[in-house]
């Protein structure tokens, strides 16, 4: 009985440590490659500055990647002769865009980190976040004259 209790206790401790060690954290890349997130931001800002709609496109890429069975980067996979991927699926064909920006991000991150260390799913997530920030910080020239109603 004692050995079974010890086994269960050790199993619980091992699982608790494993989940803690493998948990998601916003500063995961701080030690692995501190230049990764600034590199993503730089490419995203340049792409949004060049074409403002790219901000929405990168956000949409992240949404479409996460919509089908979780955020795994599978939207970025190219089709083969034997297998059609999400990228070319009927719902995404001529609908999602920005793949070339993601390719630029991946190349820049791999360059500054010295090797491929950032997952494609993380690149999509960070690019979506940075694209929203980039669009919100661009100057917007709008006019404010229309009234929603006229008081009597």
3-state SS assignment for residue 106: helix
**30 is an annotated ligand-binding site residue:** no
| 68 is an annotated ligand-binding site residue | yes
Nearest alpha carbon to residue 121 among 37, 48, 62, 39: 62
Cα–Cα distance, 93 to 98 (Å, whole number): 12
Q: Say whether 72 counts as a known binding-site residue.
A: yes
User: Per the annotation, does 51 bind a ligand?
Assistant: no
Are the beta carbons of 92 and 75 closer than 8 angstroms?
A: yes
74 annotated as belonging to a binding site for a ligand: yes
86 belongs to an annotated ligand binding site: yes
Under DSSP, the state recorded for 76 is G
Catalytic residue among 64, 75, 122, 127: 64
Residue 62 annotated in active site:
no
Binding site per annotation, positions for Ca(2+): 65, 68, 70, 72, 74, 86
Binding site per annotation, positions: 65, 68, 70, 72, 74, 86
Catalytic residue annotation: 64
């Amino acid at each position: 009985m004692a050995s079974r209790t010890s086994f269960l206790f050790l199993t619980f401790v091992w699982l608790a440590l494993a989940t803690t060690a493998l948990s998601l954290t916003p500063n995961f890349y701080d030690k692995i490659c501190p230049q990764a997130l600034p590199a993503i931001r730089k490419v995203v800002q340049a792409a949004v500055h060049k074409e403002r709609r790219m901000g929405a496109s990168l956000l949409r890429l992240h949404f479409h990647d996460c919509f089908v069975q979780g955020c795994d980067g599978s939207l970025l996979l190219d089709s083969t002769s034997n297998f059609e991927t999400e990228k070319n699926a009927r719902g995404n064909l001529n609908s999602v865009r920005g793949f070339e920006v993601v390719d630029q991000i991946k190349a820049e991150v791999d360059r500054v980190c010295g090797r491929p260390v950032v997952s494609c799913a993380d690149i999509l997530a960070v690019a979506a976040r940075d694209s929203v920030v980039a669009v919100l910080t661009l100057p917007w020239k709008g006019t404010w004259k229309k009234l929603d109603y006229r008081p009597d």
